[in-house]
Chain A
Amino acid sequence: MKILPPTLREKKRYLTVEIMKDGRINRDRFLRALQDSIKDLFGDVGLSETGLRLLHFDGTRAVVRCTPKMVWAVRAGIATITQIDGVKVSVRVIGIGGTVRSVMEKYVETGSENMSLQLLK
């Protein structure tokens, strides 16, 4: 089967999120919490429009894919997550990019260094 040409593919945005938490959470629980909170706000229709995928998760940083139109909806969904299975969390978007590579290079791989620099300032 032929693959879909790039021009016909959905446009995407990749959000890097930072997770502040006081316990352990795993990938599946995080994705579930994110989907639930978007679903609570925008319903099943809204969630389907976001084209949500979780591409990377390491406990403190995650990369979430969505459509450009729904970036602010996903952001609102992210902002209304308060706890995951009793673990207090606060999630925030630290950067947005157009390719996985760019956000991984800019926000995930150098993430820990950036953070310590910010604290030093």
Chain B
Amino acid sequence: MSLFTSNSFYELCMKPESREDLHQMAGVARRYRYAGVAVPIDMGVGDLDDLPTGFSIIQSVELVVKNASRVSGTVKQWWEKSDCLILRGGSESLNRVGVESQLVDVLSSPGRINHVLAKLASENGVAIEFNLGAIIHTRGQKRSETLALYRNNLKLLRKYRAPFILTTTPRTSYDLRAPREMAALSMLFGMTREETVHGLSTVPSQILEKHDPNFIADGVRLV
């Protein structure tokens, strides 16, 4: 199963509640063979010591904006400071502004997307988030609704070749899932194993590359 051993995986939406949690979760994530995790920038990971080697902690910013007209200003302000910029979507106007901005890396919890959003997301390289935590923590009708929603979103993302990421938005180390388990969960709504690897490894790597100071354009680097 070289698919899961030859790639480096990232969990981009970790939300630990305290620094002890972060320490524990980083250890567990590493044991699950993740190459890195992204945590909110205000956790202050800069001075975190005794980090295992070969494991990176990425600083992310999740913007929760109510008024869609204020998004573009805030996005510009935070893009430089973070390694991964996440915009919490939800409403029609917020989703639209999110996928129209080239600076937004991830649009989280977008709800039901349509062909217009998928197409724009593909053009601007905005990754749509699949939150598998919703599948893990809910049961019954609510879970079946989530699965139906993800199935619809996946269909459109495939059609327009838009990027997507997979996450469980873990708050404790018990919410983390290993890459193969993520694949098993995403197979529930029709995703293939190759697509899972794409969402856990390829897309996050591209996002991180974009924030690299030596990055100029897709495929162009300052050396």
Interface residues of A (CB under 8 A from B): 20, 22, 40-41, 72-73, 75-76, 78-80, 82, 88-90, 92-93, 118-119
Contacts and interface: CB of A to CB of B under 8 A. Distances in A.
Interface of B: 28, 31-32, 135-137, 139-140, 143, 172-178, 180-185, 187-188
21 contacts: A20-B173, A40-B139, A72-B183, A75-B180, A75-B181, A75-B184, A76-B188, A78-B181, A78-B184, A79-B177, A82-B136, A82-B174, A88-B172, A88-B174, A92-B32, A92-B177, A92-B178, A93-B178, A93-B181, A118-B31, A119-B31
Interface residues of chain B: helix, strand, loop or mixed (majority): helix
Contacts, number: 51
B173 A79 contact: no
Given A20-B174, A80-B136, A82-B136, A92 B187 contact: no
A82 B137 contact: yes
Contact of A76 (B174, B175, B178, B184): B184
Given A41-B188, A75-B181, A80 B135 contact: yes
Contacts of B32: 92
A37 B46 CA distance: 40
A80 B185 contact: yes
B174 A89 contact: yes
Contacts of A41: 188
A79 B184 contact: yes
A79 B182 CA distance: 8
Contacts of B136: 79-80, 82
Given A82-B137, A92-B177, 15 more contacts: A20-B173, A20-B174, A40-B140, A73-B184, A75-B180, A76-B185, A76-B187, A76-B188, A79-B177, A79-B185, A80-B135, A82-B136, A90-B175, A90-B176, A93-B180
